[in-house]
Amino acid sequence: MTESQGRYDVVVIGAGPSGSVAATLLANYGHRVLILERQHFPRFSIGESLLPQSMEFLEQAGLLQAVVEAGFQYKNGAAFCRGTEHDQFDFRKKFSDGWGTTYQVQRGQFDKILADSAGQRGVEIRYGQTVTAIEQLETSIVIDVSPEEGTPYRVAADFLLDGSGFGRVLPRLLNLEKASCLGSRVALFTHVEDNIRDSRFDRNKILITVHPSNPEIWYWLIPFSNGRSSVGVVLPRALFDDAIMAEQPTLQRYIDEGGMLSEILANALFDTPVGKLDGYSCDVARLYGERFALLGNAGEFLDPVFSSGVTIALKSATLAAAAVHRQLNGLQPDWEQEYAIPLKVGIDTFRVFVEGWYDGRLQDVIFSDNKSEPVKAMISSVLAGYAWDRRNPYVSEPARLSTLAELCRR
């Protein structure tokens, strides 16, 4: 028999960045919050190169100090390589106001820091819990939970937030999933003892490298503060055959083809199994409904190329927490105007940049020899996560990227 285990103001599915930040903000408001997390922390996750805009959201929730004190790798920008072409964007030289530096983080440690800090703020967190169903009642939403140990149970809440990431719990349970407009791709990745001695590599920046002969293939190299790095390759789905291609040799073969990247990693020790993320781009029919909202990757995930995932997740948590707080206080927030539309401003900006990366427009801008410094500062702002700053012409009108690409090609 399923037992009832009380009622909360808010239940959050997932203790990742979006869930922990939303829960902390709501606990700061004085609400009773429960997080249900399927896994146990620390646990491995990718999305390790944060953007400076994220620092503002962590600061709002009161979580920044714990992150700063953790000793993560300092990050001040992004470097790009395509054959013999190189450029870098210093995020401190950007158009938008705000943070210009951030960190490269091992997500197991980073996510646990956020979750532990949420717990210290009064959020109740239960690990090893799988949400199996929900029931929307007139005055509450009821969540069915299957724990790793013990009897299945139900909890009730005034509001439910889904921060389950790629688990996408509510989109599956409520049939909200829809195909992404972005192409299907595969990411292969691992952690290495990097042993990098190459002076061309700046550990304060993520390195994004384009494959020498196929511009749709690209690599990331994210250095950590302990002499290790995250390295991955992103391929069009058509280039990866599950039946005949194993992850480890495929990743290493592509790294060997990576030009300067292969030289930088010449002494790397590949000591960790290779992971795969397949067909990761996703979308939903809507971001909210009666007594629920979707956060971060549970709503929409674009692509790892500009490390936008955590930033979008934290922005969604900040917007949603404010709207939920108003609703719990008896007000009637306009979820379309206060949550969906503002969130999509940044998502749509990043989407144009992702599309521009794969069709070559943004690559031609990045590797242009004749960029003006003011325009470069505007592009740098978007790459730093300030995709909601409507003062930036490439946010207010992202289609300007096509015109800029044409000018750079000339």
Least confident of 118-127, 235-244, 310-319: 235-244
Q: How confident is the model at residue 241 (pLDDT cuts 50, 70, 90)?
A: confident
The whole-number pLDDT of residue 3 equals 67
The whole-number pLDDT of residue 371 equals 87
The whole-number pLDDT of residue 1 equals 46
Is the confidence at residue 134, as pLDDT, over 70? yes
CA dihedral (123, 3, 159, 283) positive or negative: positive
Q: How confident is the model at residue 244 (pLDDT cuts 50, 70, 90)?
A: confident
Is the confidence at residue 273, as pLDDT, over 50? yes
Distance CA 321, CA 335 (A): 11
- Report percent pLDDT > 90 for the chain: 93
| Nearby residues of 389 by Cβ (< 8 Å), 6 or more positions away | 95, 96, 381, 395
The whole-number pLDDT of residue 279 equals 86
Query: What is the third-level CATH fold of 185-278?
Result: D-Amino Acid Oxidase; Chain A, domain 2 (3.30.9)
Distance CA 339, CA 286 (A): 11
> What does the DSSP assignment read for 240-278?
--TTT--HHHHHHHHHHTSTHHHHHTTT-B--SPPEEEE
The span from the first CA to the last CA of the chain, in angstroms, equals 71
The whole-number pLDDT of residue 34 equals 98
Query: What is the third-level CATH fold of 3-70+102-178+281-345?
Result: FAD/NAD(P)-binding domain (3.50.50)
Token pair 């009730």 is at which residue? 156
Is the confidence at residue 4, as pLDDT, over 80? no
Mean pLDDT of 289-294: 96
Distance CA 162, CA 286 (A): 13
Q: What are the beta bridge partners of residue 269? A: 193
Distance CA 228, CA 71 (A): 14
Token pair 């709207």 is at which residue? 323
User: Mind listing the pLDDT tens digit for each residue in 338-380?
Assistant: 999 999 999 999 999 999 999 999 999 999 998 899 999 999 9
Indicate the domain borders of the chain.
Answer: 3-70+102-178+281-345, 185-278, 361-409
Is the confidence at residue 405, as pLDDT, over 70? yes
CA dihedral (352, 356, 361, 363) positive or negative: positive
Is the pTM higher than 0.85? The answer reads yes
CB of 282 closer than 8 Å to CB of 304: no
Question: Quick one: tokens of 406?
Answer: 């044409």
Token pair 């450029």 is at which residue? 87
DSSP 8-state symbol, 184: P
Question: Quick one: tokens of 366?
Answer: 């990045």
Question: Quick one: tokens of 342?
Answer: 């503002």
User: Mind listing the pLDDT tens digit for each residue in 13-54?
Assistant: 999 999 999 999 999 999 999 999 999 999 999 999 999 999
Mean pLDDT of 313-320: 98
Distance CA 36, CA 95 (A): 39
Distance CA 393, CA 400 (A): 8
Is the confidence at residue 87, as pLDDT, over 90? yes
Q: What element of type H or E holds 359?
A: helix 341-359
Average pLDDT, the chain: 95
Q: Identify the three-state secondary structure at position 25.
A: helix
Is the confidence at residue 6, as pLDDT, over 90? no
Is the confidence at residue 254, as pLDDT, over 90? yes
Tell me the backbone φ, ψ of residue 68, rounded to 5 degrees.
-60, -40
Strand order in the sheet with 218-223: 85-90, 77-82, 205-210, 218-223, 228-236, 185-193, 275-278
